[in-house]
Amino acid sequence: MTPWPATVRRLVYFGTPQLAVPPLRALHAAGFEIALVVTGPDRRRSRRGSPEPSPVSRAAAALGVPVTHDPAAAVAAADAADGAVVVAYGRLIGLDVLDVLPALNVHFSLLPRWRGAAPMERAILAGDETTGVSIMALTETLDTGPLYDQVATPIGPTETLAQLRERLVATSGPLLVALLRVGPRDPVEQQGEVTWAAKISDDDLRLDWDRPAAELHRQIRLGRAWTTLAGERFRILGATVAADHEGRPGVLDGLVVGTGAGGLRLDEVQAAGRRAMTAAEWHLGARLDGACLLGT
């Protein structure tokens, strides 16, 4: 592991999605010179659209920072930088970079719990009451490096993924700045049970009405949960647990769906080919003839 210098002034920044933008801006605002930003390639955001730069690429351009899609460029920039910071870059960084640049990684969990691609999503789905931000030394293997700093925060029982992400990202910037101002020193090995945060699949978001309402509510808090209605996809964007409801699983009676234990009162939905709307607005326009069955 390449050691950090006593004073850190110049950095290479690796990041790609929107959640990596606030830490980049925080470092820049704190007076750190960003020698280079390495980000993912331009991608189409829609089927018919042209390729667009990543959010981090756009933010770097606004700050007047040079941008590249080639991680090998970080090797060439090593003489002009004291180290590298990685936030949701999306790719493993090889020894060609790590052998010449000390590097740290910001990860949105309390490592070693939820190593991998979707730590915030997996924490919510598992019903975790606590998560946090970890800053670790970057190593060649995924999320295994020793820890420089770690801060915990509770997960609210109704907190959505978007809300949790916003809080953790806001925490990460000041944490990074404080660490780099004193210089990263003496990281400690991760302790505890290792769990893996696999990328969220479409099947992870499909609602199985035989499961308890509390578990289904966690899926809905991720923002993209779905079921079917009359053979078409039906998204449930917001709901409230109705613990005392005793309806049959999947049966929508008014605005409450029965589950394996309790019910879910629908708050916001999106029917196939329609915009997102309140459940009450959708229900009024759907003109359902009595109860209907979801998941069919």
Mean pLDDT, the chain cut into blocks of 10 residues (296 residues total): 93 98 98 98 80 96 97 92 97 94 97 98 98 97 97 98 98 98 96 98 98 98 96 97 96 96 98 96 85 88
Of 88, 204, 104, give the one whose Cα is nearest residue 150. 104
pLDDT at 47: 72
- Domain interval for residue 150: 10-197
In this structure, the answer to whether residues 32 and 139 fall within a common structural domain is yes
Residue at a domain's end among 159, 174, 197: 197
**Inter-residue contact 73 to 36 (CB < 8 Å):** yes
Our count of domains for the chain comes to: 2
> Is residue 105, in this structure, part of any structural domain at all?
yes
Residue 43 CB neighbours (<10 A)? 11
The DSSP code for 185 is -
Q: What is the mean pLDDT of the chain?
A: 96
Query: Do 86 and 226 fall into the same domain?
Result: no
pLDDT of 239: 98
Is 270 found in the same domain as 159? no
In a shared domain, residues 130 and 62? yes
Tell me how far apart the alpha carbons of residues 279 and 273 are, in angstroms, rounded to a whole number.
15
Q: Round to whole Å and give the CA distance between 119 and 227.
A: 24
pLDDT at 44: 81
